[in-house]
Structure 1
Amino acid sequence: MEAQKLLDALLVAERLKDTTRHCYTAKGRHESVAEHSWMMTLMAFFMRDEFPKVDMDKVIRMCIIHDLGECFTGDIPTFDKNQTHEETEKNLLYNWVSSLPKRYAVEMKELYEEMAECKTMEAKIYKSIDSLEALIQHNVSDLSTWIPKEFDLNLTYADDKVAFSDYLKILRQAVREDTIKKIEAAK
C-alpha cells in the first residue's frame, strides 16, 4: 500500500483507540474498541492448536477488522444494537473500505460478507471469540460496573455461538463458572 494511503487508513482506524465500549478494564476505566479487538486477536492466536484444520490466520484477520465500522458510529452494546444501527454502520464502513486500494477493499469486503453469513468455520470461530471476549472482560471488570441485565447475560450469552465446537463449549462453561464465582463472592 502506498505510504500516504496507509497513513490515511491508519488515521481512521486510530479512532478505535478512543472509542470506548460498555465494558470496563480491571483498573476501572472503559475498555476501548481497539483493546477488545486486540484481545480477540490474541485469543485466536492462542486457539490455533485447537482448530488445526481451520485457517486461523483468516480468523485473526476477521478479529482485527471486525469492529472498524465503529470508527464511524461508535460502539453500541449488543443488547442495544438494532437493524438500523447495523445498516448505518455497514454503509459507512463499506464507503470507507471502497476508498482503500482495490486489493484491500476486495479482501475486506469478502471477509465482512463471510463474517455476516457466519457459515464457515472461520466465521463461526471469529463470532464466538467476539462474544466470549466480552464475557471474559466483564468477569475481569469490577461487578459494580455491571448493569442489571448483565448478570443474566454473562450466564447465558454466546451459548448458541459456541454450540458447534466442543472446545468453545468448554471455554464458555469456564467463563460461566468464573461469572458464578464473581457473583457469589460479592454476596
Structure 2
Amino acid sequence: MTPKEYMEILHTAEKLKDTTRHCTTSKRRTESVAEHSWRLALMAILLRGEFPEADINKLTAMCIIHDLGECFTGDIPTFSKTDKDRETEDRLLNKWVGSLPADISSYFKALYREMEEQKTIEAKLFKALDKLEALIQHNESPLDTWSENERELNLTYGTDTVAFSEWLTELRKVILDETLDKLGK
C-alpha cells in the first residue's frame, strides 16, 4: 500500500466522525458512528480476560470496521433500516473494499464474511457487543431523547445475541436493570 492509498482510506473513514447516529450522549450531543465504533472496540479490549479463547485483535478489528458502509449511506437506525437500505449499503461498501489495495481488501472481506456468517467466537462477540453498546448509550442519554420504540427496544434488544455466553447474558441483565431504573419500573 502506498502512502497515497493509505491517506485515501483514512479520508473515507473520516466521514464516520461526521456521520451521526440516532442517539445522544449523556450531555445531549448527537453521537457519531466513529464514537460508537471507538467504544465498541474498547468493549472488546476489556473482554480479553473474560474470553481468553477469542482473538481480541481480530474482534477489535471487526468493531472498528463494522460500520464503514455508513460512510456512504449514513446511519439508519436498526428499527428503520429496510432490506433495500442494507443492499445499498452492502453494495457501496463492497465496491469500496474491492477498490482497496489487495492485502487490505482481502483482510476486510474476510472479516466482513466472518461477521456475516456468525460462526466464530469473535463474530458472535462482535454482534453481541454492537447491540449492547447501543443499549448502554441509550441508558446514558437523557430519557426525553428516546423515541417511544426505543423504550421497548431497550427492554428486549440483544437478548438473543448474548445467549451463547453466560457472561454476556449477565451483562445484558445489568444493562436491563439500568434500563428499568431509568424508566422507573
Query: What TM-score results when the alignment is normalised by the length of structure 2?
Result: 0.98
Match of 1:66 in 2: 66
Shift of 1:176: 0.3
Match of 1:90 in 2: 90
Distance 1:2 1:26 in 2: 40
Q: Which residues of structure 1 form unaligned runs of 5+? A: none
Shift of 1:35: 0.1
Once the two structures are superposed, the pairs formed by residues 166-185 of structure 1 within 5 Å of their partners are 166-184=166-184
Per-residue displacement from partner, 1:64-112 (whole Å, max 9, x unpaired)?
0000000000000001112111111011001111111100000100110
Distance 2:8 2:131 in 1: 30
Match of 1:24 in 2: 24
Identity score, percent: 55
Once the two structures are superposed, the pairs formed by residues 41-60 of structure 1 within 5 Å of their partners are 41-60=41-60
Shift of 1:131: 0.1
Shift of 1:2: 1.3
Match of 2:33 in 1: 33
> What SS does the corresponding residue of 2:155 show, helix, strand or coil?
helix
Per-residue displacement from partner, 1:155-178 (whole Å, max 9, x unpaired)?
110000000000100000000000
Match of 1:118 in 2: 118
Query: What TM-score results when the alignment is normalised by the length of structure 1?
Result: 0.97
- Aligned residue-pair number: 185
> What SS does the corresponding residue of 1:48 show, helix, strand or coil?
coil
Distance 1:83 1:117 in 2: 17
The letter of the residue matching 2:84 is T
Distance 2:123 2:84 in 1: 23
Q: Which residues of structure 2 form unaligned runs of 5+? A: none
Distance 1:166 1:23 in 2: 28
Q: Stretches of 4+ moved more than 6 A in 1?
A: none
Once the two structures are superposed, the pairs formed by residues 104-115 of structure 1 within 5 Å of their partners are 104-115=104-115
Distance 1:151 1:68 in 2: 27
